[in-house]
Amino acid sequence: MAEIKHTGEIVRKQGSTVYVKMTVNSACSECHARGVCGVDESKEKIVEVDCASAQDYNIGEKVEVALESGSMGAKSVVLAYVVPFFVLTVALIVAILLGASEGMAVVVSLVCMAVYYLVLYMLRDRIKNKIKFKIIK
């Protein structure tokens, strides 16, 4: 699998952590019709990179940031998109099978989604420790 890399700029250093600001473009940014449809999207994100050689980098320096191989990239996609889809679907089906009206089933499904994301939020530190980025000069 190819390594995903983004170019960014170092905006802050703290101890052995380097903070890199990146502009992440959606898939629409490469489309020739992006100016017409208005869906084009790009966001600035700051990622924390633990780096033993943080002192070797300077604020304002341009670097590449890559997800370390063996990191939790694919699992992140599953946690953010696949599991919520199944939580929503299963909650909806179970609520309907238990006799809830369609409106109530939707409310139950949304509450289940909120609980899922709350649990994910509470586990963010454990997840964060498994997702590692590296800086490429």
- How do the domains of the chain map onto residue ranges? 1-67, 73-130
What pLDDT band is residue 119 in, cutting at 50, 70 and 90? very high
**What pLDDT digit, counting tens, does each position of 8-61 carry?**
888 988 888 888 888 766 555 555 444 444 444 567 788 888 888 878 888 888
Query: Residue 68 and residue 51: Cα distance in Å, rounded?
Result: 12
Which of these, 5, 16, 137, lies nearest to 69 by C-alpha position?
A: 5
Residue 39's contacts (CB-CB under 8 Å, 6 or more residues apart) are 26, 28
Predicted TM-score (pTM) of the model is 0.56
CATH code for residues 1-67: 2.40.50.140
